[in-house]
Amino acid sequence: MNYKTIFRIVGLMLLVEGAALLISLLIAWLAGGSDVMAFAWSSLACLVPGLLLVMATRKSSMMISRTEGFLIVTLVWLIFSLFGTLPYIFSRTIPGFADAFFETMSGFTTTGASVVDNLETFPKGILFWRALTHWLGGMGIIVLFLTMMPAFGIGGMQLYSAEVPGMTVEKISPRIYQTARIVWGVYVLLTLVEVILLMFGGMSLFDSVCHAFATMATGGFSTKQASIAFWPSPYIQYVITLFMFLAGTNFTLLYFAGRGKFSRLFRDEEFRYYFLFVLGFTILIFSGLLISTKLPAEQAFRDSLFTVVSVITTTGFVTADYLMWRPVLYMLVFILFFFGGSTGSTGGGVKIMRIVLLLKNSYYELRRIIHPSGVIPVKFNKHAIEPRVISNVLAFFMFYLMVFFVSTVILMIFVGDMDTSMGAVASCLGNIGPGLGSVGPVFTYSAVPDAGKVFLSLLMMLGRLELFTVLVIFSPSFWTDQ
């Protein structure tokens, strides 16, 4: 294990975080809020140790092995979240460490679960920092870092694949830093477009930027306690729905679509299923709402579409309290907790591609039973998927369920009630935000005890890094087979 390189990257990442805090400092200063000093101290607290680490590790190698890649990414995420708590603590907006850690982790992992019950009293700088944590974490802090570091070569690839969701890394360009730049470019561009469209709908510049950050990252932090329901304008809600949907799409496909190759988008099997799932669940819930409530048709459609897209992309914005619907309808929503966005998107969860592969594999298993010597591979995008990949997906799903059930049991020790525990665990693990029971869409996580909050924060990181990156560090062979 090359600790010098690991510390160097951690140091460089602290500098990146310090720079992000400086941007928030600027916003806080422009808004003339009470949080200016909090940001000044926080950025100093990042920049100083960051600089010291970088200076101390000047002549370190640029080579990063696979195992080091996993360790670096996990460490960076932990450290980023630890230092990210400083503005909340220094400004006394979220004074408790467990609360601040939960909020920061929820920001970077784009979960969007909050412990804040008095959002309207927060200064603008802090609100901006909350949204910025989403935006940085959405496309990935490591990916952002790689766009600035062309020198990493194949080492960058190890980092990239440990952070970016999905089973394989799809390169758009020969160099990993170029690929990172392209996806970040698409990300920045879409964010800009959303800001402009939201401003057309009458949202202020500040709120538009914060919400665009949260939408494109599939985060879910709003600047208002009531989330998107604060703006009853159908236009704003549809715009946000559209961009949530885009953020849950594979960014490689968006890049090609942006260059005029729209056919690639609809040729892609994952995108087609993603589209179908959204459509299907929306129709189910919409018709359920029409039958069971007296909502006007347009609003019923809008609420169901918004909720489905918000949950499947793991954003977690709220326009309607789904827990007030018939239980069968919120059960449908809860099933979506386990879907997640596409591979290569900013969405969390299990990912559409994995779900489709699991379903196909199970279905083909029936045919394999009828034809014991048949060669029946699982096909995706017209190509046979290697058995190794299927086994990887099966293992992932098994881990996912295991973590879900074990964590629910653990959380029930702190919380007591099962609805809340299951909802909170599924929501944090899938990086969604709102859960069930007392952590439902109109509530926050503030009532969860501190130990439970720290536990849920770690679950968010586990989910964001897609289990394997973190779990592999706890396997004995990670440390012994060197």
Partner 1 sequence: MKVVIAGAGEVGTHLARMLSHENHDIVLMDNDPEKLAQISREVDLMTVTGSAHSFVDLKETGLNKADLFIAVTTSEERNVLACAMASYLGVARTIARINNSEYLQARYREKLKNMGIHEFIYPESLAAKEIVSSVKLTGTRQYFEFSGGKLILMGIKIRGNAPIVNRPLEELGSLLKDIVAVSISRGNENIIPSGKDMILSGDVVYFVTNRSTQQRLFELTGKELFEVKNIMFLGGSRIAQKTIEKLGDNYRIKVIEVNRERCSMIADQFENVLVINGDGRNLDLLQEEGLAKMDAFIATTGSSEVNLLSCHLAKSIGIKRTVAEVENFALINTAENMDIGTIVNKKLIAASYIYRFTLNAEISNVKCLTSSEAEVFEFIAKPGTRITEKPVRELDFPSEAKLGGIIRGDQGFVASGNMQVQEGDKVVVFTVPSGMKKLEKFFK
Shortest reach from residue 157's CB to partner 1, in Å: 6
Task: Point out which span in 148-156, 260-268, 295-303, 474-482 binds partner 1 (CB under 8 A).
Answer: 148-156
Shortest reach from residue 213's CB to partner 1, in Å: 30
Beta-carbon contacts of 63 under 8 Å, excluding residues fewer than 6 positions away, are: 2, 5, 155
Question: Is 6 within 8 Å of 75 (Cβ atoms)?
Answer: yes
- Residue 455 CB neighbours (<10 A): 21
Residue whose CB is less far from partner 1, 153 or 185 = 153
- Euclidean distance between CA atoms 421 and 435, whole angstroms: 9
Residue whose CB is less far from partner 1, 69 or 87 = 69
Residue whose CB is less far from partner 1, 206 or 478 = 478
Shortest reach from residue 471's CB to partner 1, in Å: 21
Task: Point out which span in 149-157, 310-318, 353-361, 450-458 binds partner 1 (CB under 8 A).
Answer: 149-157
Shortest reach from residue 252's CB to partner 1, in Å: 12
Residue whose CB is less far from partner 1, 178 or 299 = 178
Residue whose CB is less far from partner 1, 67 or 91 = 67
Nearest CA to 78 out of 130, 141, 164 is that of 141
Residue whose CB is less far from partner 1, 154 or 395 = 154
Shortest reach from residue 62's CB to partner 1, in Å: 11
DSSP label at residue 341: -
- Euclidean distance between CA atoms 202 and 107, whole angstroms: 26
Shortest reach from residue 169's CB to partner 1, in Å: 9
* β-bridge mates for residue 396, sequence order: none
Residue whose CB is less far from partner 1, 68 or 207 = 68
Shortest reach from residue 167's CB to partner 1, in Å: 12
Shortest reach from residue 70's CB to partner 1, in Å: 15
Task: Point out which span in 81-89, 151-159, 257-265, 292-300 binds partner 1 (CB under 8 A).
Answer: 151-159
Shortest reach from residue 378's CB to partner 1, in Å: 16
Q: Does the protein bind partner 1 through residue 332 (CB under 8 A)?
A: no
Could you tell me how many residues of this chain bind partner 1 (CB under 8 A)?
11
Nearest CA to 137 out of 247, 258, 274, 12 is that of 247
Residue whose CB is less far from partner 1, 49 or 153 = 153
- Euclidean distance between CA atoms 457 and 438, whole angstroms: 18
Question: According to CB under 8 A, which residues from 176 to 205 bind partner 1?
Answer: 176, 178
Nearest CA to 72 out of 150, 168, 161, 166 is that of 161
Shortest reach from residue 159's CB to partner 1, in Å: 12
Beta-carbon contacts of 313 under 8 Å, excluding residues fewer than 6 positions away, are: 218, 244, 245, 247, 248, 340, 341, 345, 347
Residue whose CB is less far from partner 1, 173 or 204 = 173
- Euclidean distance between CA atoms 302 and 325, whole angstroms: 14
Shortest reach from residue 9's CB to partner 1, in Å: 17
Question: Is 42 within 8 Å of 87 (Cβ atoms)?
Answer: yes
Written in H, E and C, the secondary structure of 422-476 is HHHHHHHHCCCCCCCHHHCCCCCCCCCCHHHHHHHHHHHHHHHCCCHHHHHHHCH
- Euclidean distance between CA atoms 273 and 46, whole angstroms: 43
Residue whose CB is less far from partner 1, 156 or 347 = 156
Question: Is 164 within 8 Å of 145 (Cβ atoms)?
Answer: no
Residue whose CB is less far from partner 1, 154 or 447 = 154
Beta-carbon contacts of 369 under 8 Å, excluding residues fewer than 6 positions away, are: none
Strands (DSSP E) contained in 326-424 are 379-380, 383-384
Question: According to CB under 8 A, which residues from 152 to 181 bind partner 1?
Answer: 153-154, 156-157, 171-176, 178
Task: Point out which span in 37-45, 150-158, 212-220, 444-452 binds partner 1 (CB under 8 A).
Answer: 150-158
- Euclidean distance between CA atoms 99 and 108, whole angstroms: 14
Residue whose CB is less far from partner 1, 197 or 393 = 393
Helix, strand and coil in the chain, % to nearest 5:
70, 0, 30
Shortest reach from residue 389's CB to partner 1, in Å: 11
- Residue 188 CB neighbours (<10 A): 13
- Binding-site ranges for partner 1 (CB under 8 A): 153-154, 156-157, 171-176, 178
